[in-house]
Structure 1
Amino acid sequence: MKRGWNDTLAGYVKIAVIGPGGDKFLNDCMEHRLNVWNIKRISEASFTCCISLAHVKEARAILKGSKTKIRFLEKKGTPFTLRKLWRRNGILVGLGAFFAILLFLSNMVWNINVTGANAKTEYELRKAAAAIGVKKGKLIFFLPDARQLQKKLTDQMGNVTWIGVTQRGTAYHFQVVEKELPYKPPVNGPRHLVARKEAVIHDLFVEKGQPLVRVNDSVAKGAVLVSGYIGKDKHAKLVSATGEVMGEVWYESKVEVPLTTTFSTYTGKQEDRHFISLGSLPVPVWGLSNGEFKHFTKRKDEKNIRFLKWTLPVSYVKEEYRETDGVKRDYSVKEAEKVAKQMAAEELQKKLPHGAKILEEKVWRKSRSDGKVKLTMLYLVIENIASVQPIPIQQGE
């Protein structure tokens, strides 16, 4: 018979069979289906062979009471290898600890690079990233993925247009595109104050300059409100006009609200499941239930496990199940109009300059079609309409 792979795994021994009953021993082994191989005769009364570790007891039972004896020469296979290693368990523990530490360190954040940002923006970005958890020494498993990080940081950083997030090994790379704000050089020389838009003058306060409008005057866009010239003709003096001119400005806002809306809300119940993925085989670690929710949303976050510079075919997987509840909302026409007014006012507030105040609002148009209430709102707003216009100075003046 030949040795099989399972004999190596289960273990086998090489023995010497000594005595006159050697041939009968081999025949009895064949009869009892004992796996014996690699038979080599040494003399007429002895030979060597290999036998599976599991069949040693049966072989001894066959030779019991006979004059034939067996002597063990070699021990091979996994059980004997493990026994030898166990005698050196200190080395095994040290090797295990060494590789565990390497594995741990290979999945930790060690470097954070920021490009495309000035010093101030880079400081703010690093501070915002640290608040989320992206800082040196943090395990990558428990950090949001690159897409979530990109969204969170972009939403928090008001002075950037876009932040690209890339994770390479133990390093995070942030590529920043800052907002290009138009440069407005300070106007310190002679200047007028002119109207930014068409309006009716509500009030004005002039620190320097000659006011050219009064309360209740209608002005067009670009009209001079406060002149930088004080005096007349040759005695006119140039100054830097300053002050505030509050004007009444009309704004229009269009909104529509469906009378019936179906949407999903989170109930607050959540279950998390954790896996170690070995190739395509998921091995549950913690949380074996998805909550048995009837309606839910599922989010899967998978992090590859690295060892030094290599990505192992092993990953940590977290599945998040959040229960949802479908809600149907019905509005009456009056309720829809009320909601539409609130929406229009909120949208308008986002457009208004600092210090502006809504003085009056009214419904300009109202209609109902396709299951929706549509409103066109007009708002009378008081805001500072003055903007700076430099006065060109000719040589000799």
Structure 2
Amino acid sequence: MQWMQWTKGVVSVHIRGEEPEQLVNRALAGGLELWNIRWTSGGSMAFDLSVGDFFRLRPYLRKTGCRVHVVKRAGLPFWMARAGKRKFFAAGMFLFFVIIYLLSSLVWSVEISGNKRITDEQIEQAAKEEGLYPMQWSFRLAQTDVLAKRLAGKLPDAAWVGVEKEGTRVIIKVVETTQEQKPELNTPRHLVASADAVVTQILAEKGRAVVSKNQRVKRGQTLISGTIGAGENTQTVVAKGTVRGLVWYEYNIVSPLTQTYKVYTGEKETKWYAVIGSRMLQVSGFGKSAFELSEAIRTEEQAGWRDWKLPIGRMKETVMEVVQEERKLTAEEAREVGLLQAKAELTVKAGADAVVRDEIILHEKTDNGKVYMKVLFEVEQSIIEEMPLVHVQGD
């Protein structure tokens, strides 16, 4: 039930007669809003509608010869009717809405976005100096455009500041002034091999390539030299370039023949919570869950009208039952699963641009419900790492 529907009041009805479908079609065509339309196990048609539309339903009942039976009433009008019979309860409700009004007049949170160089603490301090901080009364704040100008004056590195108020939340948006980026100061360097490999590609953007394609290199061996020229014309530069090569990795893989999967049974439990600010109060679904294993999904609804949000609402927690099921794999299937997992680990270790070119199973056996393998992977990857150049000057 949505908040607007709850405010208007909702009536759940069952329709009996020879042509309940005609009644629904005519009512919808006449502008009535019906929802949750369904057939009941008793053969009648059921749906929900607002209190106002319930009284507009009578002409359609007469035209179709149907009868209506109210099975449930919910919403603010019925709540107020019950409250009218209990003075103390009505007084409590009045006090409740007064408190809600007061809470909605407070600033509950101040959010900051768009800043990188300017810290949140600097912006929060500037906002506090202007009276903008959590738990401040909204009516004590200046207009948002005035606040924005004042904050911009207090933040020299901000090119523009915007202030937006959304219910009980205030958002400060900052656009920082652009600064000329200074080039990074790099010291002269060589590019050396990060692992034993066979070079498959070498491209020197700056510096001098000292190895060639299809050449075997050792870890630490210079690939692109940062020293260029000869004799008196020798100079050092920041070596840049791309070098890729074939690297070999040996993996010991253990893959079980039985795998466990999580399956939803379709059974679920629902719990409701009243939300006030950052606090929650459970109002239904008490007691220990009957499910041995479960997962919960939470959805929150905040009360409000259009863009005006109140610091109250409700949260629905759906607890779904899950069971663990086992699946038996063949030795071939377990082998493929193990190889895929090993390749995924290799991608993380060797880099996102790494490519597995070949795989050689050196040894394989099946024992105690598991497949054991020793596998050699041939991977093409970047094989460069930096090595600074150190000049040794004589006396």
Instruction: Tell me the TM-score normalised to structure 1 length.
Output: 0.47
Larger Rg: 1
Q: Normalization by structure 2: what TM-score? A: 0.47
